[in-house]
Amino acid sequence: MLAQSSAPIHYRLCPADPKGHLFEVTLTIPQPEMPVQNISLPTWIPGSYLIRDFSKHLLSLSAQDSQGQPLTINMVNKSCWQIDSASSHGQPITISYQVYAWDLSVRGAHFDESHAFFNGTSVFLAVENQRSTPCLVSILETEQTQSQQWRVATGLPYTEINAQGFGDYMATDYATLIDHPFEIGDYTEICFEACGIPHKMVLTGLFDCDQARLKADLIKICEYEIELFGAPAPMQDYLFQVMVTGSDYGGLEHRNSTALMCSRNDLPYEGMGEASEGYLQFLELCSHEYFHTWNVKRIQPAVYQNADLSSPVYTNQLWWFEGITSYYDGLILLRAGLINADTYLKLLAKQMTRVYRMPGRFKQSVAESSLTTWTKFYQQDENAPNAIISYYTKGSLIALALDLMIRQQTQNDKSLDDVLLTLWSQYGKTERGLVEGEIERICSEVSGIDLSDFFARYLYGTEDIPFETLFAAVGIEFTLRSPTALMDLGGATSEPCLAVSLGANLADTPTGGVKITHVWQQQSAYQAGLSAGDELIAINEIRVHNKQQVETLLKRSQANAQWQCCFFRRDELRQCTLTLQAAEADRVSLAEVSEPSSTVTTEWL
């Protein structure tokens, strides 16, 4: 039995031990459930669909009553505990524990001498049957945070903090609490307004950056997206939290913030002329996660609403929530004036190539990719290209095809924008969750086109979308070509194409060799008996030093040429004869042509 209490659940977090990467956390429950109180930690974080078992990093769990007397704790399962609260006689109880924070990602918690970052799913235990109770969070200072002049950055509203941001923050409930990550450190801060709304980007790490250019470009992205969905925006302020490293990349959306990781080489630098590929990738990432403010955080599958995060939830709808977002992230760079049509077509061609290089697209539908994300997409192995397709990449192609088809069949009276805004009006603003099949119905309803066959073939089926015809109608030539190099990512090119293909991905090893990372079924390496993990050491009796050497051999070879390969499988020396097959035409090229095949005047580009 639980009596109602006006006092909030109180969490205190201290960045106590940077060398040991330990946060110390206390949780005070003003009015515990009697005779036992259950507490738990999520097993996954919204937006990242993998069971991560955050409880494995929780240490030294103990509980005591208001008199300081210890209370018995029993483990219920791997992420849930039961506290014997009977002896507390309804008075407050306090739980103490440590969290080991050494996950340098956007999904977990990380803490060392340079900074601290955490998601609430990693550090804040949920008080069962009291998840709707307000939560007070106190972020405590230490000698280290004071001496290094660390500051706190979070989108969670505060009640009383000092100039550095240490102090008290308030969440309306547990779900709100865990949807506001914290960055604590000596970060670089870029502040701006978009449509009158305060925005901030904080960057942690070692880097140099043209902050004025980054700020100007972010304003264009944010203002375009706010204006696309219309006033009022769903947030009062917004925070980009960026961890800058040597080579990392990723993002995770939250209610009024996003946690990002990028390579320091992807940031703009003073004197940069045309935006580099890395910088465009970073801007796309910002555009993508910001778009999720509407599409995922407000427009949501019904099964994601009020999920307790203890076990997976399943939906076919990630093709919309991630695929459509992936379609718009680059398109918004074009619409906001950050890139021209030629650059956009290059970005789009590379995105499409990631689909056409996956034989698995004929084995798994996009709907199934969404449904099995917990076991297949988020746990990819070396056979993934042959077995699965990404609901991000092919989902974005479904979005592209829908947009082109709707525009062409309605003479530009309707577009995918209209579907998006209908979902925002009817579901995002009203917090009504989407059930299975509802998005497909709305696409047909808004466009006035029966799209049931389209979805049966391309969403629930495994057919390739007829892009040659769809693009021709808007004056764009779609072609599939063979690669020009091992790392050819697609797009228009003047380089000569390879006549043959190895049918495998390669990676240089630190010791000066070449390892096979993926093998495409039925292609050259597969037919020769090579497998992922094999290390090539010689081709035609000549030692192989790096993958560039292999690429040079490919450029000099023709179909049916034979290579005598020596390789290690584990520590066993083996040999095989590899017969080179003609290169697959799996790289996408897009180019504007003078006259579209349709009389419809498109405003797509």
Spatial distance between the Cα atoms of 351 and 211, rounded to a whole number of angstroms = 28
Spatial distance between the Cα atoms of 535 and 514, rounded to a whole number of angstroms = 6
Spatial strand order in the sheet of 182-185: 109-111, 115-118, 182-185, 151-154
The dihedrals phi and psi of 438, each to the nearest 5 degrees, come to -70, -35
Q: Is 67 exposed, middle or buried (0-12, 13-18, 19+ CB in 10 A)?
A: exposed
Spatial distance between the Cα atoms of 253 and 205, rounded to a whole number of angstroms = 20
Q: What does the angle CA 202 – CA 285 – CA 283 come to, to the nearest 5 degrees?
A: 75
Sign of the alpha-carbon dihedral angle for 413, 415, 417, 420: positive
CB 295 within 8 A of CB 307: no
pTM reported for the whole predicted model: 0.96
Reduced to 3 states, what is the DSSP secondary structure of residue 185?
A: strand
- Confidence check: pLDDT of 365 > 50: yes
- Confidence check: pLDDT of 511 > 90: no
- Confidence check: pLDDT of 2 > 70: no
- Confidence check: pLDDT of 1 > 50: no
Encoded amino acid at 149, one letter? Q
Mean pLDDT of 183-188: 98
Residue partners of 421: CB distance under 8 A and separation at least 6 = 228, 229, 230
Encoded amino acid at 291, one letter? F
Residue partners of 165: CB distance under 8 A and separation at least 6 = 139, 151, 152, 153, 154, 158
Per-domain boundaries in the chain: 9-186, 187-274, 294-477+590-605, 500-582
Mean pLDDT of 456-483: 97
Reduced to 3 states, what is the DSSP secondary structure of residue 513?
A: coil
pLDDT > 70 fraction of the chain, expressed in percent and rounded? 98
| 294-477+590-605 CATH, one of 3.50.50.60, 1.10.540.10, 1.10.390.10, 3.40.50.720 | 1.10.390.10
CB 593 within 8 A of CB 475: yes
* 514-560 pLDDT tens trace: 999 999 999 999 999 999 999 999 999 999 999 999 999 999 999 99
pLDDT band at 3 (very low <50, low <70, confident <90, very high): very low
Spatial distance between the Cα atoms of 163 and 190, rounded to a whole number of angstroms = 17
Spatial distance between the Cα atoms of 385 and 381, rounded to a whole number of angstroms = 9
What is the per-residue DSSP string for 37-70? EEEE--SSBTTB-S---GGGGEEEEEEEETTS-B
DSSP 322: I
* 160-175 pLDDT tens trace: 999 999 999 999 999 9
Tell which residue, 67, 62, 44, 64, has the closest CA to residue 54: 44
Work out the number of other CB atoms within 10 angstroms of the CB of residue 386: 18
And the tokens for 57?
Answer: 């990093």
State how far the alpha carbon of 430 is from the alpha carbons of 241, 416, 439, in Å. Answer: 28, 20, 16
Work out the number of other CB atoms within 10 angstroms of the CB of residue 208: 10
pLDDT of residue 599: 56
| Interaxial angle between packed helices 341-356 and 393-409, expressed in degrees from 0 to 180 and rounded to the nearest 10 | 120
pLDDT of residue 4: 44
Spatial distance between the Cα atoms of 326 and 328, rounded to a whole number of angstroms = 6
Topology of the domain covering 9-186: Immunoglobulin-like (2.60.40)
Mean pLDDT of 7-11: 97
b/e map 452-463, b = 16+ CB within 10 Å = eebbeebbeebe
pLDDT of residue 596: 72
CB 288 within 8 A of CB 393: no
* 408-461 pLDDT tens trace: 999 999 999 999 999 999 999 999 999 999 999 999 999 999 999 999 999 999
Work out the number of other CB atoms within 10 angstroms of the CB of residue 490: 25
Element holding 286 (H helix, E strand) = helix 277-291
And the tokens for 240?
Answer: 């980009």
Mean pLDDT of 257-272: 97
pLDDT of residue 512: 87
pLDDT > 90 fraction of the chain, expressed in percent and rounded? 96
The full length of the chain comes to: 605
pLDDT of residue 598: 64
Topology of the domain covering 500-582: Pdz3 Domain (2.30.42)
The dihedrals phi and psi of 428, each to the nearest 5 degrees, come to -65, -50
What does pLDDT average to over the chain? 96
Reduced to 3 states, what is the DSSP secondary structure of residue 126?
A: strand
Tell which residue, 472, 468, 424, 463, has the closest CA to residue 597: 472
Q: What does the angle CA 19 – CA 24 – CA 30 come to, to the nearest 5 degrees?
A: 175
CATH code for the domain defined by 187-274: 3.30.2010
Spatial distance between the Cα atoms of 182 and 186, rounded to a whole number of angstroms = 13
Element holding 287 (H helix, E strand) = helix 277-291
* 53-98 pLDDT tens trace: 999 999 999 999 999 999 999 999 999 999 999 988 889 999 999 9
Residue partners of 340: CB distance under 8 A and separation at least 6 = 334
The dihedrals phi and psi of 98, each to the nearest 5 degrees, come to -115, 155
User: Would you give the distance in Å from CA 239 to the centre of its chain?
Assistant: 17
